Amino acid sequence: DLKAAVAMAAKAWTGHSLEACKEAASKHESFNLVCIPPLVLLTFASLLTASQAVGATLSYAVEAYILIDILYNLAVPQCQPTAFRWGTIVVHHLLTAWLTLHPCLHPENNHMTAMWSVVEVNTLILTVNRKLKSAALTYAFYATWLGMRLLWYPYLTYLSHNIIRGWGAPLYGYAHLQIVASGVALCCLNWVWTGEVVWQLLSKSKAAKKA
């Protein structure tokens, strides 16, 4: 059955039991519940105040969180449900770390960090909902996924292209690729994850019909 298949997949992926994988995932969610709310607060503070100090704090905080979470995923890969998810998360984090490094090194552009990190609202809703399992939060998650990851991010990539070119970065130069190529890759990952979710929903629907 489906539960047995999930247990076998978890065992094959990490060598750990399904229970151990669930425990690792729960601990990772608790880690995110500690780290992500301050990032969301700093994001809105930066957007509302346009403060250089707040923007710089946010940039370094996002960079620190991403680097720590990369190490977390490398040390405890079973916190992710599949090897595919683990790989895409690590790639996502590496791209985000590279992108965020720019405003860290060039504080005149640290206002850009909040424009990207606003998507953490979606991540926070997902993490909270995994604990509370609320229908309202589920709808909020899908709404923010659509609005932030699938609509806002592509536009933001275009907007970031204009910002970084206006800043003086040569087209296809290092800074331009650091911002725009990272943005394009992150947009692609969002669509990959969307496809993964759709496939999972269809698989569950087929399994329910067979049952």
pLDDT in tens, 158-192: 999 999 999 999 999 999 999 999 999 999 999 99
Evaluate if residue 202 carries a pLDDT over 90. Answer: no
Question: How confident is the model at residue 51, as a pLDDT?
Answer: 96
Query: What would the mean pLDDT of 43-52 be, rounded to a whole number?
Result: 97
Pair 18, 11: CB distance under 8 Å: yes
205 confidence band (pLDDT: 50, 70, 90): confident
Residue with the bigger pLDDT between 205 and 131: it is 131
Across 53-73, b (16+ Cβ under 10 Å) vs e yields ebbbbbbbbbbebbeebbebb
Question: How confident is the model at residue 139, as a pLDDT?
Answer: 97
Evaluate if residue 3 carries a pLDDT over 70. Answer: no
Q: Cα–Cα distance between 192 and 82 in angstroms, integer?
A: 14
200 confidence band (pLDDT: 50, 70, 90): confident
Query: What would the mean pLDDT of 118-134 be, rounded to a whole number?
Result: 96
